[in-house]
Structure 1
Amino acid sequence: MTWPMRFQAELVRLGVPEPRARRLTEDTSAQAAENATDPADLFGPPHLYARHLLAELAVPAVTERHPAGPVLLSLAGVGKRFRRRAVFHNINLTVRGGEVAAVVGANGCGKSTLLRICAGLTRPDSGEVRRTRRVGYVPQDGGTAGWLTADEHFTLFGAAAGVVPRRARSTGAHLAARLAWRPEPDQRAQQLSGGTRQKLNLVLGELHAPDLLLLDEPYQGFDQGTYVDFWRQVHAWRDAGRAVVVVTHLLHDLTNVDHVLDLGER
């Protein structure tokens, strides 16, 4: 019996309805495939990971915290077309400080395009976008220069935000430590693994302490421990009054958010 089959069987044995167990298994298998890693190497024994996942899902998504703050992102009737084809239309979303929103949907439905519109990097063809001035954007691919070290990235991105080099480097090292990563002084970005390079992207997105964070599947290449650390950090941003919008395709991520925008339903 394969790892996914044993994982699904364990979920059912633990009381998960079969349709949901099947979706969680497909979701988990897709994550392993994206990392080009065997599920056993990424998640460990299927019976233990099934229990771990159910324990995470049992935690209330929204714990007692301060009331939501001011609106930091607002989309009203937003639409986008490519070559006369509507990618999406009439998108409405409001995210306040202290809230997390997830954007979900099938591949090709425009999730990354919508996030770029939120960041001001792509213009919508219709509707209105309002956002706070301080925005951090973490793309799914790219965002780093292969020939620069992590410290050089921190210095460069810090300079763009008006942060002096020494403070930018110390802040970058502190944020990296939250993701269990200590950058090597002479290691260039092109020498980093995919998961570590994505950690660098996350640090750069937060380096200037933005009020709104826009994250496009930011956990690509993460192992399970780093994935959990990532969501802890998202909760810390939320508790600090920041707004977070994260593009995801993982079903169990939706227990961690306040709003879900499903582009696949349009």
Structure 2
Amino acid sequence: MTVRLAGVGKRYGRGGRWILRDVALALPPGGIVRVEGANGTGKSTLLKVLAGVERADRGTVEVAGRRAYVPERFPPALPFTARDYLRQLARVRGLSAGQGRRRADHWLERFGIAGYADTPIGRLSKGTCQKVAVAQALLAEADLLLLDEAWTGLDRAARGELDAAVAERAAAGGLVVFVDHDPGRLAGLTTAGHLVKDGTLHGIPVAAAGPDGPRTAIVVRAERLPEHLPGNPGRTPLADGAVRLEVAAAHSDTLLRRLLGSVPPVHVHSVAPAEHAEGGRP
């Protein structure tokens, strides 16, 4: 699923200024793309156009597959409990009732808010409400995930879970486009960056975890490893039945979090720099 924008322009009102002008963009699947820019330059507008929340006034927008979006401001005054809201969104996105229940419960548990599942959204704290906002997008397992300052208001553990979820979505072939005020957000995982300035896009370098950078080896034992893992680690079966996973060091923390939370359980035997790990390099 490749996203393509060609000659895209957006303004508010017939006589309003152009927020976006002649934007061209092509993004392949499996990427994590950062969008930067000063306040009011059009970052949020770009994400809304990609999400289909706003229509471009000029140009073409090609987005195939499922889209999910976390807006900069989530409306808390909704007539649902947290659990009911997530299940409702699951139905809207075409999931069966069973899938909706399982995914809603999974993300409520993963973000540590299962205890608030039956609390009306309007009575949740700002941070808990933000976790619900993020969960509603993640449960869709979308082809295109759009995050507009989604980390704002989350506690440290929840920020780590969102980092891991982004890596997992990209590892599964999804495309993630995000805006965040922290310049270090997803450093080493980001595959491309774009600066919005004067209504146009400018490519910017990102700190990528290249194939020649430091790597980490994780030796595990498991009845069954998850099919998709953050960082797309190499897998080498060892003689004793264990499996050696090798991944760019920047992905290792996210990969470990995913392994330790897997069902059925994955037993982590050792973690070491790849050149010093058991079994050597594959």
How far, CA to CA, are the matches of 1:250 and 1:186 in structure 2?
32
Superposed displacement of residue 96, structure 1: 1.7
Superposed displacement of residue 161, structure 1: 2.2
RMSD: 1.9
Structure 1 pair 178/186, CA: closer, same or farther in 2 (3 Å)? Answer: closer
Superposed displacement of residue 206, structure 1: 2.3
How far, CA to CA, are the matches of 2:114 and 2:124 in structure 1?
12
Superposed displacement of residue 145, structure 1: 4.6
Structure 1 pair 102/213, CA: closer, same or farther in 2 (3 Å)? Answer: same
Q: Normalized against structure 2, the TM-score is what?
A: 0.64
Q: Which residue in 2 is equivalent to 1:81?
A: 11
Superposed displacement of residue 261, structure 1: 1.3
More helix by share: 1
Q: Secondary structure at the match of 2:119?
A: coil
Q: Which residue in 2 is equivalent to 1:231?
A: 163
Contact 2:32–2:176 (CA<8 Å) still a contact in 1? yes
Structure 1 pair 257/152, CA: closer, same or farther in 2 (3 Å)? Answer: same
More strand by share: 2
Matches within 5 A, 1:184-195: 184-195=116-127
Is 1:108–2:29 an aligned residue pair? no
How far, CA to CA, are the matches of 2:70 and 2:155 in structure 1?
19
Contact 1:147–1:188 (CA<8 Å) still a contact in 2? yes
Q: Which residue in 2 is equivalent to 1:126?
A: 58
Contact 2:9–2:21 (CA<8 Å) still a contact in 1? yes
Contact 1:138–1:218 (CA<8 Å) still a contact in 2? yes
Superposed displacement of residue 98, structure 1: 0.9
Superposed displacement of residue 211, structure 1: 1.0
Return the match for 1:176 from 88, 102, 108: 108
Q: Normalized against structure 1, the TM-score is what?
A: 0.68
Structure 1 pair 178/185, CA: closer, same or farther in 2 (3 Å)? Answer: closer
Q: Secondary structure at the match of 2:104?
A: helix
Contact 2:151–2:180 (CA<8 Å) still a contact in 1? no
Contact 1:238–1:244 (CA<8 Å) still a contact in 2? yes
User: What letter is aligned with 1:87?
Assistant: I
Per-residue CA deviation, residues 126-169 of structure 1 (Å, 9 max, x unaligned), is 22110013111111112555331112112211221232334312
How far, CA to CA, are the matches of 1:136 and 1:159 in structure 2?
14
Structure 1 pair 213/178, CA: closer, same or farther in 2 (3 Å)? Answer: same
Is 1:264–2:194 an aligned residue pair? no
Superposed displacement of residue 217, structure 1: 0.9
Superposed displacement of residue 247, structure 1: 1.6
Structure 1: unaligned runs, 5 residues or longer = 1-69
Contact 1:254–1:260 (CA<8 Å) still a contact in 2? no
How far, CA to CA, are the matches of 2:113 and 2:90 in structure 1?
19
Matches within 5 A, 1:32-181: 70-71=1-2, 73-82=3-12, 83-142=15-74, 145-181=77-113
Q: Secondary structure at the match of 1:262?
A: strand
User: What letter is aligned with 2:173?
Assistant: G
Q: Which residue in 1 is equivalent to 2:208?
A: none
How far, CA to CA, are the matches of 2:157 and 2:87 in structure 1?
28
How far, CA to CA, are the matches of 1:137 and 1:93 in structure 2?
19
Q: Percent identity?
A: 32
User: What letter is aligned with 1:193?
Assistant: S
Higher relative contact order (CA 8 A, sep 6+): 1
How far, CA to CA, are the matches of 1:193 and 1:225 in structure 2?
16
Superposed displacement of residue 254, structure 1: 5.8
Is 1:213–2:124 an aligned residue pair? no
Contact 2:131–2:158 (CA<8 Å) still a contact in 1? no
Superposed displacement of residue 213, structure 1: 0.6
Q: Which residue in 2 is equivalent to 1:203?
A: 135
Structure 1 pair 217/171, CA: closer, same or farther in 2 (3 Å)? Answer: same
Structure 1 pair 93/240, CA: closer, same or farther in 2 (3 Å)? Answer: same
Superposed displacement of residue 238, structure 1: 0.9
How far, CA to CA, are the matches of 1:143 and 1:213 in structure 2?
19
